[in-house]
Structure 1
Amino acid sequence: MESVTDPALVRKNCSVHVETTELTDVRVFRPVPHRDDRGLFTRTFEAGQFDEHVGATGILAADFLQDSQSRSRRGVVRGMHGRASPGEAKLVRCAHGAIYDVLVDIRRESPTFGRKQAFRLDDVDFAHLYVPPGFLHGFQALTESADVCYRIDREHDPTADIAVAHDDPRLAISWPLPVSLISERDAAAGSWTALLERL
């Protein structure tokens, strides 16, 4: 096993830029990988840094209970999914390939309620998207195969699932590719109008 003793190299390996977004409380963690002739090294999660930048919103690194991963073919859309109150926090990254990731704020008390924002997540810059409780989330695979990793703060409860159709005209999401496939569940998802009545 190789040990790293150069302090400058250790700092480089741990460097992460944290960005605010147009959506209240959403953050992008953008690591700066160390690259050399062997390939690269990057840190995918650091609890202290997460707590420093997100903890004030009420979610701490220690709250995460479950890691999941999905694999999707090019053009596949998964979404738009959410959880009923109190919701679910997630940290999302694309470990392989690239995705077009979309969030919609469904927190009625939020200054960005009803607004959406899209993000590109890929295996080039390894950005992680922090999604607070109270958002719809969905993505489209942009590459032949895309692996998406989710770190979630509560166990899945199917009775709390909510969903809005990926092509709902009120959301007006401009997916970058023709949609090649969606699940039966997503095909049966409700409308934004119906969700507003439920919230």
Structure 2
Amino acid sequence: MQVTEVPAIAGALLFTPTPHVDERGFFSRTFDTEIVRAAGIDPCGFAQDSISRSVKGVIRGMHLRSGAGESKLVRCSYGEVFDVVVDLRPDSPTYRNVEFFELSGDSQVTVYVPAGCAHGFQALTDPADVSYRIDRPHDPTEDVTIAFDDPDLAIPWPLPVTTTSARDGGAPTLAATGRLRR
């Protein structure tokens, strides 16, 4: 498994596995405690695994947590997604940077999203499954959502939006949340 830093988002990492492919399909290790530890992440620091299934065109995001934040490993386990990370840590050297990734079930690449960064994605296939490994149990009172279509973020979603949740569709802009500093 290869670990690559994401220059646009301080502390973000890409974990690219080496699948073993044969006539049956493939086998791929998607998490390895020694590799994660060598990358500077506590592999025992994760508290919850979750999965979402989305239909083509759905946008989920942009989500983050208040308080101590939430670090997560994100992987598209089936299908394909356009994945987005926005650095919203005011003291970060990459504050307000936006980075995009195409994640797929074929590649099984995992993105490490540091605490304080917003995350979201758009399903490019029908369906697309996204797996999350999160460092803290979910507390809905800490949920923060930023408008996925915020003009200050200018995220170039590749498909027309088919649907979002009510929470995502009605989310405030980054400026309205008080997280915008210049």
TM-score range, shorter chain: over 0.9
Residues 85 and 134, structure 1, Cα contact 8 Å, conserved in 2 = no
* Superposition pairs of residues 1-199 of structure 1, within 5 angstroms: 16-21=1-6, 22-55=8-41, 60-197=42-179
TM-score, normalising length: structure 1: 0.88
Gapped regions of structure 1 (runs ≥ 5): 1-15
Determine which structure has the larger helix proportion and give its number.
1
Name the aligned partner's letter for residue 10 of structure 2: T
Q: Looking at both structures, which has the greater relative contact order when contacts are Cα pairs under 8 Å and sequence separation is at least 6? A: 2
Question: Separation in 2 of the partners of 1:26 and 1:85?
Answer: 19
Aligned residues: 180
Q: What CA RMSD, in Å, does the superposition of the two structures yield over aligned residues?
A: 1.2
Identical pairs, percent = 47
Spell out structure 1 runs of 4+ moving beyond 6 A: none
SS in 2 for 1:107: coil
TM-score (norm 2): 0.96
**Bigger Cα Rg:** 1
1:111-138 residue CA offsets vs partner (Å, 9 max, x unmatched): 0001100001101111000011010000
Runs of 5+ unmatched residues, structure 2: none
- Deviation of the 1:188 alpha carbon: 1.6
